[in-house]
Amino acid sequence: MSFHRIILTVNGSTEQVDVPGNMTLLQMLREKLALTGTKNGCAAGECGACTVLMNGEPVNSCMVLAAECNGADIITIEGLARDGQLDVIQKTIIEQGGVQCGFCTPGMLISARALLNRNPHPKEEEIREALVGNLCRCTGYNRIVSAVKAAAEVQ
Taking CB under 8 A as the rule, does residue 71 contact other proteins? no
Taking CB under 8 A as the rule, does residue 63 contact other proteins? yes
Q: By CB under 8 A, name the one of 130, 144, 148, 152 that touches other proteins.
A: 130
Taking the complex as a whole, how short is the minimal distance between the CB of residue 85 and other proteins, in angstroms? Answer: 26
Q: Closer CB to other proteins, residue 2 or residue 85?
A: 2
Taking CB under 8 A as the rule, does residue 114 contact other proteins? yes
Taking CB under 8 A as the rule, does residue 34 contact other proteins? no
Residue pair 14/77 in contact (Cβ under 8 Å)? The answer is: no
Taking CB under 8 A as the rule, does residue 86 contact other proteins? no
Residue 117: what are its φ and ψ, rounded to 5°? -70, -40
Q: By CB under 8 A, name the one of 133, 141, 143, 149 that touches other proteins.
A: 133
Q: Closer CB to other proteins, residue 91 or residue 141?
A: 141
Which residues here bind other proteins, judged by CB under 8 A?
1-2, 4, 21-24, 26-27, 30, 40-45, 48, 51, 54, 57-60, 62-65, 67-68, 111, 114-115, 129-130, 132-134
